[in-house]
Structures are given as C-alpha cells and as structure tokens.
Amino acid sequence: MTNVYVAAIEAIGEAMIRNKEYLTDLDAAIGDADHGINMVRGFEAVRGKLGALPPEADLATVLKTVAMTLISTVGGASGPLYGTAFLRAAAVAQGKSAVDGATAVSLFMAAVNGIKERGKATRGEKTMLDALEPAYEAFAAGVGDNKPLPDCLELACAAAERGIEYTKTIVATKGRASYLGERSLGHQDPGATSSYILLKALNDFCRRRPAEEA
Amino acid sequence: MVGIVIVTHSPKTAEGICEMAVQMARPGQKIIPAGGTADRRIGTDAAKIGEAIAAADEGDGVVVMVDLGSAVLSAETALEFVDPELRARTAIADAPVVEGAISAVVQASLGGSLNEVLTTAESARNLRKK
C-alpha cells in the first residue's frame, strides 16, 4: 500500500515540476530567476529521499525528511524557509498516527510561524507569508466551523490566491525583490505563488482521495 | 583561534574571499569557504555551512560571514543542527562579507575572543572607500 503522506508530498512535487517555468519567469521579473528551478530541484531530491523510507513511515518522519532535504538542496531562501516550515510541522506531528482538524490547524500554524521566524518577516512585505498567513486563517476558521478538512483546504487555497493578487499591489521589503524597490510593484511574488501551488496540490490530492487526509 | 566561515551564493566568491583573508592570517588560522550548493550552483546550503562551522571550530568559537538573503537564512538554519555547545560559541556577523572577513581574520589571528572577532567584523561596515 502506498504511504498517503508520501503520495501527498509527491503530488506537491509534481505540481512544482508543472509550474517550474512559470515560477522561474515570475522570479526573473523581480528576483534572481531561479525559484522554479530551485523548487523542482528540492522536490526531486525529496522524491528520492522519500522513496528510501519504509512504507509505514509516519507523518512526522515524512515531514522531517522533506524538511532536511529542502534545507540542503534548494539553494535559494525558499530552502531554509519551506524547510523550516516542514520541520516545525514535523515537531507537531511527532507521535500522531492520524490528522484530525485540531492537529491539522496546529501543523499549519507551526509551519507558518516557522517561516515568519526564519525569515523575520510579516505579512505585507511581498513574500510567501502574504499567501500563507491568510490561507492559515481561512483554514483555521473552516475547522472552527466544523467544516470537512478538504473544504477547509479549499478555503485556504482561495485565500492564498487572493494573497497572490495582493502581492501585486505592494512593494517588496524582504528578499531579493527588495533590491528593486518601487519597481517590484505590479509583479506577483514568486514565493507567494509557490505557496499557493503547494496548497492547491494538497487540496487536489485530498479531493482525489476523499477517505484520507494528509 | 576563533575560526571563520565564509557563506556566499557563489562558491567562487567564498573561495576568493578565503584566499584574500589567508594573506592576513597567522598560520593555522581556520578560514573555511561554504559558498554555493553541494553541486556548486549559485545558492546556499545549510548542511554545507554546518559542516564548515564544525571544521572551523578549535574550541574558541566560530564567526560566520554571510552575503545576502538566503546566506543568512541558511546559516541560521545550519545553527539549528550543530551541536548545542558549538552553537553557543558560533555567531553570524552582521557585516559586509569581504571587509568583514578580512577584519575578522586579522582579529582572530591576533588571538581575539569570539566577541572581539564578531565586533571587529561588524565594525567593518564603517570602512569608507573614499
């Protein structure tokens, strides 16, 4: 039987591969033109590492493996940022055999807080947080209303998508795009975009496997 | 002596800064480049940085010089995974990477403490060119 957590991460990796040029083009406009390339390199390394795990690997092990691999293979700032997100989520997942609503909210919160802490960033600086933080809030609100988890993920995706649109309206003050100052206006943030792609891939994955939640 | 680690996006930048800094160093001074990714692409790699920190430490601590963005994030991430005692005697300098590295190496080779090397590296941002 395939490991559902591994399959979910692989779905994210496939989404990054599909969007490699798109992410790199967005990054070419306001950064160093490597975001798609870096994300794909990271998730391809992740696929190799996950393939070496025993099939019964638990969520914490899968998340930690993703974290350590992204941290050492991505190359750009998204490596330590996404890596820290997965690492903090892994700490929350430790000892958990299933993911219920409350656990999913804690995982998501730990991941977002990990990125805030690592990047010393807040919302409104034209970063992945402009997609991820509203997504987390929408997700947590959905869980609070006792909605099914896939529906909560749908809400999170919609919020992240609005977050991407929002990044077009602000000037970057963090990351490579901040070197461009006002010239970063009008462009959407590549990091916010890859965050949306990640959530969307997870959402699509859950829609395909309604009985299981990753 | 306090060890120095140089973290830059290009592996060549880190190696070049080390070559420059060695000219000012006492024999045996550890100056370790940790630039680029494992496959020498442009980028930074927390695992590589962690190994460099461990290699640079002789017990007196390590000052890590960084260039931009992900160099800082990767260096901070690397510190999460090094031995806690080594982490406690490692500092990331908030300094220009070339001038800071030269200043740090001079102070380290004079037998400066971790804090002295860090302060000297960070004061390099006040060096004027004209």
Q: Indicate if B31 belongs to the active site.
A: no
Q: Which domains are delineated in chain B?
A: 3-7+15-48+61-126 (3.40.50.510)
What is the rounded distance in angstroms from the CA atom of residue B61 to the CA atom of residue A21?
43
Q: What is the mean pLDDT of residues A107-117?
A: 98
pLDDT digits (tens, 9 = 90+) for B67-83: 998 999 999 999 999 99
pLDDT score recorded for residue A97: 87
- Rounded to whole angstroms, how far apart are CA atoms A76 and A179? 16
Residue in the structure block whose two tokens are 């006040």: B126
Among candidates A174, A179, A197, A173, which has minimal Cα distance to A30?
A179
pLDDT of A2: 82
Residue A77 has pLDDT above 60, yes or no: yes
* pLDDT average, residue stretch B86-114: 98
Question: How high is the ipTM of this complex?
Answer: 0.89
Could you give the percent of chain A with pLDDT greater than 70?
Answer: 97
Q: Which of B40, B66, B70 to mutate to test the interface with A (most CBs of A within 10 A)?
A: B70
What is chain B's mean pLDDT, rounded? 97
Which among B5, B9, B18, B105 is annotated as catalytic? Answer: B9
Residue A81 is predicted with a pLDDT of: 98
- Asked if pLDDT for residue A1 goes beyond 80, the answer is no
Q: Which residues contact B101 (CB under 8 A, 6 or more apart)?
A: B4, B6, B17, B18, B20, B21, B31, B65, B121
CB contact under 8 A, B77 and A118: yes
Degrees, nearest 5: CA angle A67-A70-A73: 145
Residue A127 has which token pair? 């970063």
Nearest CA among A202, A118, A121 for reference residue A160: A202
Closest CA to B127 of B92, B108, B103: B103
B46/A75 Cβ within 8 A: no
Nearest CA in chain A to B75: A80
Q: Per CATH, which fold does A4-208 belong to?
A: 1.25.40
Residue A189: predicted pLDDT:
97
Residue A214 is predicted with a pLDDT of 45
Q: Do B70 and A79 touch (CB under 8 A)?
A: yes
Question: Taking CA atoms, what residue in A is nearest to B46?
Answer: A72
pLDDT above 90: residue A209:
no
The β-bridge partners of B62 are B3, B90
Task: Show me where the domains of chain A are located.
Answer: 4-208
Residue burial A127-162, b: 16+ Cβ < 10 Å; e: rest? bbbbbbbbbbbbbbebbeeebebbebbbbbbbbbbe
Mean pLDDT of A161-187: 95
Alpha-carbon distance B58 to nearest alpha carbon in chain A (angstroms)? 25
* A120 → chain B, closest CA residue: B73
